[in-house]
Structure 1
Amino acid sequence: MASITKHHGSWQYRVSYRDQNGKPKFISKSGFTTKKAASIAAAEVERKYHRGADLDQHNITLIEYWDRWLKLYKSGKHSRITEARYSTIRKQMVKYWGEDRELKSITKSDWQEFINQLGETRSKDTVGKLNGYVRSMVDAAVDDQIIYSNFTHNVVIAGNEGRTGVLKYLQVADLKKLLNYCVEFADYDQHIAYYLIATGALTGARYSEVLGLTWDNVDLDKRIVHIVRTWDYRYNSGFAPTKNKSSVRDIDITPELTDLLARLRREQREANLAQGYRDDKQLVSRSMRHNLMTSAAINKDLRLVERDLGISPAITFHGLRHTHVSYLIANHVDINYISKRLGHANTTITQTVYAHLLEDAREVQVQATLDALSQL
């Protein structure tokens, strides 16, 4: 039941209801310029109540709902790296909106102003990710009938280009030098990093995926590597899920990489037998000292090899993934296959990340087409 009253020159409503435990409660709001406006707002609150909305959340703040949404849908369901982002996003929202800003009071224009301010000091990629996480939260708020529409939809993502448009990868000649070096000098005792570097370059797998490989997921007979999990090398907490569902995939490997992995398995088994050591996880990347290389360690070894080979500019292990794609695109491999090989959810992601490489390949094809037509 709603009551409409005038107070200090403006109109207000008061809606009485019972919560989910049957306890009497009320919601009130003032500041309406007309009695009709207050009545319409009160009627909407009553409509929500009769449709099953939880009115206890009606005045919930942005931060309160964010915390509740995380607890219900996200906490404990993702990697520690991903969950750390939630804390960072929360800090940014508290800094701008404060702790008390009601969720229902935020308009699309308000949110655009927030996005614009973030973009002054951050990359578009960072701002876009934040907006994407909050969009999912606000979708839930719409479903909970707290608000009517999602104020994050179709905002203009602000920010500088950062490093998103710059992909570092090796030219073909340098890639060949790197692979030849790794194959020649890979050694389980001293240089297991070379095995991992070659694996990354020839599969395009992420470093966490390479570390997460176990021997039962390396089919040397069929020459297939099954990516089914990753290894949390940042926190060293063990196996972790892949980045997303599409990252679970099979990667066909070359005879050369097959031989190299067979060599690693043989050396690893011989060393374990001599040491009386048994790895219950059967990790491909387990070293002679029974540990796994950190990201910093593998990148240090990679830089040393690049320096010895005169490769410049140097790349990181993740640059091997870009190099892998670059080589496939240059050799006209179908983008759909490349996307699946990388574990991307769809080709749009691949095309976005590697747009400039695809454009270079397109220009080559354009010239080849024109040359062919000119011969008619």
Structure 2
Amino acid sequence: MQINKGLIFVGKKSDTSKTKDNIYFNEEVKNGKPYWFQVMVDGKRVTRRGFRTRTEAKKARDELTVDMNRGSYIDPTKITFGEYFLDWVNNRSNIEETTRELYLSFHERHVKERIGKIELSKLAAMDILKFLKYLKTDANSRTGKGLGDETVRRMYATINTALNDAATLDIIDINPVSKLPKNERPRVEKKEREIWNNDSVKLVLSSSKGTTRFWIAYFLAIMTGMRQGEILGLKWADIDFDKRTISIRRSLQKNTTTLKKVKTRKSNRVISMSPLTAAFLLEHRDIIDVEKRILGKQYQDNDLVVCSRLGTPARANKVLEMWYNICDKYKPEHEPKITYHDLRHQSASIMLNEREDIRVVSERLGHSTVTTTLNTYSHLLPTGQEKAVLSLDRTIGFDIE
């Protein structure tokens, strides 16, 4: 089948079966992306693999055809890594817009100048190694030092995923990251979360009540273990005061006023709330009702539990700023400075120290598995060794002469 500008559809029959529209299916592929196509572009074979459905593969092939007809097709052997990376980021459909913006900032601040001008087909493991060294040592323009371990690890993982996709689509033969020695791949040392003792938590909450409209957000973080975005996206319709439950259905995107559905089935959950939590929420609702009456039409009723004076979504940075003000004023000197997000970990630590069932704690936190909870909070779990050593005494022990 001939298409303009020398575009011819071809395919290998040895390891595939052909579906209609000249899209091929590889039965041996185990990653859930068995569909592929291959075309000849001006005498060169161009292959695109890694499509979940025939329709997805056909769409990609048709887009390639359009690019050819417009003259905007770029030979994969000539495209730079920077050009490919931008195209990869902008065309991903399974990431949040905030994540896309983060990836684009990676490109603008670091990738473009350091490895962005290298042809994708010529990008080597040594290039990646030098780039990682730059990130670790002097990528921070403000301090003249390297970026934090978590940032370096995130950037490395993003580039690795982009190159994996390029290899899957047969744009490159192999991902150069796979050739890096294991000891050169970024690691993040696991750090235990800093938490306060229970008396300090009680002191700060009781002392700061009434000092800010966002106080209920900090109280909910400790009493429910909800994520920051989940609290800022909570609506009164999500709360059943008769059953004393909270349904977590949405989240506020970080530093925006955009509400979105929670990402996973585990995050979409119903949790119980204590009588004290219900009482403080009702008190908070009464305050908002008064504001509505005073402001009248000026009030934008979004049904949000945590909101601005006008009823609009509360920005995360403003809520965090007010939390730090509370810490500066009421936190005992011996306690470390913790973030608003750390209050969620404070909630988990209280429950685990009270020997609550790990499965219940995991469910309340919305973790994907109990293993996630164990990996995060294993240092807080009672070890049971006290009981174990006593059983050894009873079995083996004898009097000391």
Q: TM-score, normalized by length of structure 2?
A: 0.69
> 124, 131, 139: which one pairs with 2:149?
124
Deviations 1:234-287 (A, max 9, x none): 2x4332454666533333222211221122223322432354356442111134
User: Residues 79 and 228 of structure 1: is their aligned pair in 2 closer, same or farther, counting only changes over 3 Å?
Assistant: farther
Alpha-carbon offset, residue 63 of structure 1? 1.2
- Answering whether residue 191 of structure 2 is matched by residue 165 of structure 1, we say yes
CA distance in 1, matches of 2:119, 2:346: 48
Q: Is the 8 A contact 1:127 1:157 kept in 2?
A: no
Q: Is the 8 A contact 1:212 1:229 kept in 2?
A: yes
Q: Is the 8 A contact 1:227 1:247 kept in 2?
A: yes
Determine helix, strand or coil for the equivalent of 1:230: strand
CA distance in 1, matches of 2:3, 2:76: 12
Q: Is the 8 A contact 1:111 1:152 kept in 2?
A: yes
CA distance in 2, matches of 1:216, 1:192: 20
Unaligned stretches of 5+ residues in structure 1: 1-17, 26-44
Aligned to 1:367: 386
CA distance in 2, matches of 1:181, 1:116: 47
Determine helix, strand or coil for the equivalent of 1:369: helix
Higher mean C-alpha displacement, 339-348 vs 325-334: 339-348
CA distance in 1, matches of 2:293, 2:48: 65
Aligned to 1:65: 84
- Answering whether residue 112 of structure 2 is matched by residue 94 of structure 1, we say yes
CA distance in 2, matches of 1:84, 1:142: 24
Q: TM-score, normalized by length of structure 1?
A: 0.73
> 129, 136, 140: which one pairs with 1:112?
129
**Equivalent residues, number:** 325
Deviations 1:72-131 (A, max 9, x none): 1159x5233x233112221322222142x1222223444234324323312321122112
Aligned to 1:151: 176
Deviations 1:139-179 (A, max 9, x none): 32123211233333475433775xx6252322122123234
Determine what percentage of the aligned residue pairs are the same residue.
Answer: 21
Higher mean C-alpha displacement, 273-282 vs 50-59: 50-59
Q: How does 1:263-274 map to 2 (within 5 A)?
A: 263-274=283-294
CA distance in 2, matches of 1:374, 1:343: 41
Q: Is the 8 A contact 1:122 1:159 kept in 2?
A: no
Aligned to 1:41: none
Amino acid at match of 2:186: A
Alpha-carbon offset, residue 213 of structure 1? 0.8
Deviations 1:222-243 (A, max 9, x none): 2222222222452x43324546
Amino acid at match of 1:201: I
Aligned to 2:163: 138
User: Residues 60 and 322 of structure 1: is their aligned pair in 2 closer, same or farther, counting only changes over 3 Å?
Assistant: same
CA distance in 1, matches of 2:359, 2:119: 45
Amino acid at match of 1:158: P
CA distance in 2, matches of 1:333, 1:197: 22
CA distance in 2, matches of 1:347, 1:148: 39
CA distance in 2, matches of 1:68, 1:254: 49
Deviations 1:159-216 (A, max 9, x none): 775xx6252322122123234446xx44xxx632221211111122232221111111
